[in-house]
Chains A and B, each alone.
Chain A
Amino acid sequence: RKEVEQDPGPFNVPEGATVAFNCTYSNSASQSFFWYRQDCRKEPKLLMSVYSSGNEDGRFTAQLNRASQYISLLIRDSKLSDSATYLCVVNPNSGNTPLVFGKGTRLSVIA
């Protein structure tokens, strides 16, 4: 089983749609969880950190279920500018341990 697995995608959705990304992780002792956004041919950029049961930032909501080892990202009222690849990222330990990335799920928001 891969350490971090995501929906394979791609997702093609119309503007205004709600889209959900799912991610599972294999290391039950993992400490920190993140969603990164990566635009085409650019570096990954932190979208949201998920430290407890979940958090919300505007149109974006991240949820964590430690019992199921499952993380989700919900985007409401999607915009054309949301088109990107969304990477699920896990830090197996605290501090400066290396991040473990999922393969990413590509989202295209269509006018």
Chain B
Amino acid sequence: DAGVTQSPTHLIKTRGQQVTLRCSPKSGHDTVSWYQQALGQGPQFIFQYYEEEERQRGNFPDRFSGHQFPNYSSELNVNALLLGDSALYLCASSLPLPGTGRNTIYFGEGSWLTVV
């Protein structure tokens, strides 16, 4: 059973360009969350998708947008890239544990984005 997979693993973009990152959740997981981790910081929540809808959003500008497909896979799009967008972008998939109110969360290996 494959875990959470992300692509690409590394990429370099120029300021002002646009980027799309992709995530395939763990099998059976219907909820996908995206996090941004800048160097020396903890991951920061960007947004979460469930049933193809953005369900929750963190404190990120509208330049950050996403999508979830019927097979639960997801994309993160960032427009008008800034140098400060350079970071590790992590995708996490989760599935609630029945009757517990808890959920098991799995992270992908991340996509390293460098903006020059």
Q: Which residues of A are interface residues toward B (Cβ below 8 A)?
A: 4, 31-32, 41-46, 51, 87, 94-104
Contacts and interface: CB of A to CB of B under 8 A. Distances in A.
Contacts of B31: 96
B68 interface: no
A92 B56 CA distance: 13
A8 to B, nearest CB: 11
Given A95-B103, A96-B48, 14 more contacts: A32-B102, A41-B88, A42-B110, A43-B90, A45-B107, A87-B42, A95-B102, A96-B55, A96-B94, A97-B56, A98-B45, A98-B58, A101-B35, A102-B42
Contacts of B103: 95-96
Contacts of A104: 41-42
B109 interface: yes
B74 interface: no
B40 interface: yes
B84 interface: no
Contacts of B96: 95-96
Contacts of A41: 88, 112
A32 B100 CA distance: 12
Given A103-B40, A103-B42, A42 B109 contact: yes
Interface in B64-116: 88, 90, 92, 94, 96, 101-103, 105, 107-110, 112
